[in-house]
Structure 1
Amino acid sequence: MSATAFVAALPMYDWPEVQTDNDRFWNKLRESLRAHGFPAPDRMQRDVPESDLWQHPDLVLGQTCGLPLVRDLMQKVRVVGTPAYDIACGAGSYYSVMVVHRDSAIEKISDLKGKRFAYNSLCSQSGYAAPAYHLREIAGATPIFSSKVQSGSHRGSIRMVAGNEADVASIDAVAWRLAERHEEAAKELRVLATTEPMPGLPVICARRAEWSNDRMHLAVVEAMAALEPEVAEALLLTGFAPLCDSDYAIIQRHAEIADKVSL
């Protein structure tokens, strides 16, 4: 089976500073996937919108966010497993950090009322749904924040808070660790709160009957085991947890509650 028409991508943490490391990771994944009989393409896609990649009928391997998974993708993809990252959280889990400017007078969650909120995307678990759920106890009949602005990325949200264009943002814990290493604006911020751990960003593939999930999971595990230590460290990778579709039901339940919170 030719790999020409098939696609793969790891877009969620593909910061410019670690793209070379992600390419080296893909090289290991490609070799392992092919050894297990999967049509892995030579290179990852970086010029196709994430939503198009996630729904591509020939997606061999990709990574998505838990919120679009439960809302839009569950009938189109399979969860292969979930990477574990060096973020002091259970394997396959992650959380968000709610950050404010280091000089801000904000000291507790209730201080956020009337402040300006920056978020990466409305379909982001870590950037929008998680903080909405976390703030549900201070929500009322009127919106919590005086304004909300979509930054387009976690990195963009960090820069907005650092530049006093927003007062608070909620950042994926893995993205925050990358920001601490690679983003100058992160030095201007401090963590106000952390949200409840949830299933992390799953690795997915197209829902094709001829593809064995167990075999694909094994291919990813073997690729990670063969990964150079410096690459794993750069990408914060520590393992690959055997999460499946049903593990993400908690995100759906929390999202239903978060949807009722007026940010």
Structure 2
Amino acid sequence: MVKPKKHLGQHFLKDNDIARDIVKAVKQHKKGMKILEIGPGTGVLTQFLMEDYADDIILIDLDRESINYLEKHYSEIKENIIYGDFLKLDLRERLGEEYIVIGNFPYNISSQIFFKILDDKEKVVEVVGMLQKEVAERLASPPGNKNYGILSVLLQAYYDIEYLFTVGREVFDPPPKVQSGVIRLVRNDRQALDCDEDLFKRVVKQGFQNRRKTLRNALKPLNLTDEVKQLPVLNKRAEELSVKEFEELTNTVAIGRINEV
């Protein structure tokens, strides 16, 4: 048996019907496209991935006990079972030109997982994942919602995000203190933003850093000119802006900043 480890944020799903539904949510797979499962644990998702994608699965887990279990029970794909930290390893060459990410993501690193996915957005065509319900809702949240935040904007710039279903605490071992949510991200057609991407990230992060303030006050550290400060859009709060409006704001900020020393 593999024992769940608190320091790894492990809560093992024990409901096969839910596991099957998560795997069925994968829609973008093509023959030969790799599917990376993050944190397979005892293989509750893996068993169903094996039914249709056995030739294309790659598993990665930081728990040596889980790795030993998986290598024993899925010996036919042993060479595709990786012991390591997804956040630290560079797997892009092994994953090919396009790949899919799936997993019951540890709650304590779920945001970090999505930031790394963003770094490889040109290759990640789909993500199906279970994470803390409020985080899942945040990623899928539209503008104007209190859940809408930094990662919502950055991910929605490149992905169409759908909240699929909620999972109760009772189907995990051990039961987490919160409910879980399953979401699907599908890569959109956007190849690049209509603005400087690094500045876009800075504007979004700065805007939400003090989300209760208007953008006029939240963006003060960006050294905006007096002319830009008078624009009506700065009367809004960050949570009110769509991705497109953040792009437009970024272009305005780019030409309306006092030169930084």
What TM-score range do you get, normalising by the shorter chain? 0.3 to 0.5
**1 or 2 for the larger relative contact order (CA 8 Å, sep ≥6)?**
1
Higher helix share: 2
**TM-score normalised according to structure 2 size:** 0.33
